[in-house]
Amino acid sequence: MSLWRVEWLRLVRTSRWIALVAVFLLLGLGDPLLTRYLGQLLRGSTGDTYIHITVTSPQPSDGLASYFSNITTLGTLVVVVVAGLAFTIRANPPLAMLYLTHVPRRSRLLTPRLVTVAVATAVVALLGGGAAAYETAVLIGAPTAGRTAAGVAISAAGMVFAVAVTFLAAALLRSQVGAIAVALGAVFVVVPLTDLIPGVRHLGPNAFNALPVSLQTTSWSTDDTWSTLVTAGLAAVCVAVGLWRARRWEL
């Protein structure tokens, strides 16, 4: 049995796939619904008092933007946890001994894990995006196909970036908690902080993560191309450094 099948079984038998699917699907189905009835919910909560709330009627882009905005945080959180559990091989030294002496090169052990988690993440991100588009079309109106497709694809790519960051964290740290914490810190703290650096505000992963939302109302710009390239490059660097670090692992 190949290590690719082992990774597939890891995803299926540990029920982690259900956690992934549940988050993306529920947010995909729920966020457009919330957007559609947000005005009524707010009015209902305030009652007929002196507070008067005016909510503009939602547009299809609002439904998708709501989904992309939420999935960037909640989806990333779940993806990092699932990926961290899969990548921290050294957290279980006796098992790591067998794995690491079984394969001639450590990349042969890590590549199936990385690819399986990345593909699973991308697939559920596409699934969630599809669910959001469906619900938006039913409730609010048909969204623009091109913008929707671009948003869903970029959202999936953003999740893969989080996987790559987690891969690097797991290559650097032994413990599952430590690797997951560092990866979350990198994605939710370090990446947004790069906005503070003059000149790179619109060129980094943070701008890339905001693209699915902004693309629903604006057009693609040169900065967007740069942020995409920079994010892809950083993801590649994370994977390359992670593999290099794994070659130097000691138990």
Binding site for another protein (CB under 8 A): 1-3, 5-6, 9-10, 13-16, 18-19, 22-23, 25-26, 29-30, 33, 37, 74, 78, 81-82, 85, 92-95, 97-98, 100-102, 104, 131, 134-135, 138-139, 248-251
> What is d(CA 113, CA 83) in angstroms, rounded to the nearest whole number?
9
- Tokens read off for 205: 């992963």
* Tokens 């900065």 -> residue: 223
Q: Kindly tell me which of 55 and 95 has the beta carbon lying closer to another protein.
A: 95
| Least CB distance to another protein at residue 8 (A) | 12
| Least CB distance to another protein at residue 46 (A) | 19
| Least CB distance to another protein at residue 29 (A) | 5
Residues in CB range of 215: below 8 A, 6 or more apart: 147, 150, 151, 154, 224
| Least CB distance to another protein at residue 106 (A) | 10
Q: Kindly tell me which of 128 and 158 has the beta carbon lying closer to another protein.
A: 128
Torsion sign across C-alpha atoms 236, 239, 241, 244: negative
| Least CB distance to another protein at residue 202 (A) | 32
Q: Kindly tell me which of 42 and 138 has the beta carbon lying closer to another protein.
A: 138
Q: Kindly tell me which of 171 and 234 has the beta carbon lying closer to another protein.
A: 171
Q: Kindly tell me which of 82 and 207 has the beta carbon lying closer to another protein.
A: 82
Q: Residue 226: enclosing H or E segment and its boundaries?
A: helix 222-247
DSSP secondary structure letter of residue 194: G
Residues in CB range of 162: below 8 A, 6 or more apart: 76, 79, 80, 83, 121, 183, 187
At 181, which amino acid appears? A
